[in-house]
Structure 1
Amino acid sequence: MLGFSRFSHNVGKQYDEFLLDSIDRAKYQWDQATETQEAIYEVDGEIVAQTRLAREKYLFLYREARERKVSNNRIQSSVIDY
């Protein structure tokens, strides 16, 4: 039983790191989608939908990190614009 609790603790840390990496990627994709939308003269519905999807992915992952109380210097609460 002792070995199992150590294993589950390591899995949690690994998931937290994976979550933080996913948040970084989602933020980058959201920024890219926003820049693309701003750079295009005639924005169609697909581009707007892609930007919204990227934003929602980021917000979902961010909320998950907050619920899990994952914190370090990689995530700042000021990056979300509501």
Structure 2
Amino acid sequence: MLFHHRNQEEIKQERDQRLLNLIYETKASWDHAKETERAVYEANASTELHYRSRLQEQKYLYLYRIARKFKVHGELNQSVIDR
């Protein structure tokens, strides 16, 4: 069919899954930025790494707020359980 309309539930599930994937990728990027900042901190690097780490943190928190707004629930992340 040329103009097949998708079910609203399918669209919601796809949106939720994409949001979760983006959150997981951003969290991994943020963790990597924190580790890099810690490693380079001992070498007296510029504050650029600190700002990159903060940017990744803000992206993650923004996506997290959106997920809460849409009531999206994902898998438990090991880094969250460790805290």
- Normalised by the size of structure 2, how large is the TM-score? 0.78
Unaligned runs of 5+ in 1: none
- Two-structure CA RMSD over aligned residues (Å): 2.3
AA of the residue aligned to 1:27: K
Distance 1:5 1:13 in 2: 12
AA of the residue aligned to 1:21: N
The equivalent position to 1:61 in structure 2, one of 63, 71, 77, is 63
* 1:13-36 residue CA offsets vs partner (Å, 9 max, x unmatched): 101000000010000000000000
Q: Which runs of 4+ in 1 moved over 3 A?
A: none
Deviation, structure 1 residue 65: 0.5
Deviation, structure 1 residue 72: 3.1
Unaligned runs of 5+ in 2: none
Identity, % of aligned positions: 33
1:1-80 equivalent positions in 2, closer than 5 A: 4=5, 6=7, 8-40=8-40, 41-74=43-76, 78=80
- Normalised by the size of structure 1, how large is the TM-score? 0.79
Q: Which protein is bigger by CA-based radius of gyration?
A: 2
CA spacing shift, 1:15–1:74, aligned 2, 3 Å:
farther
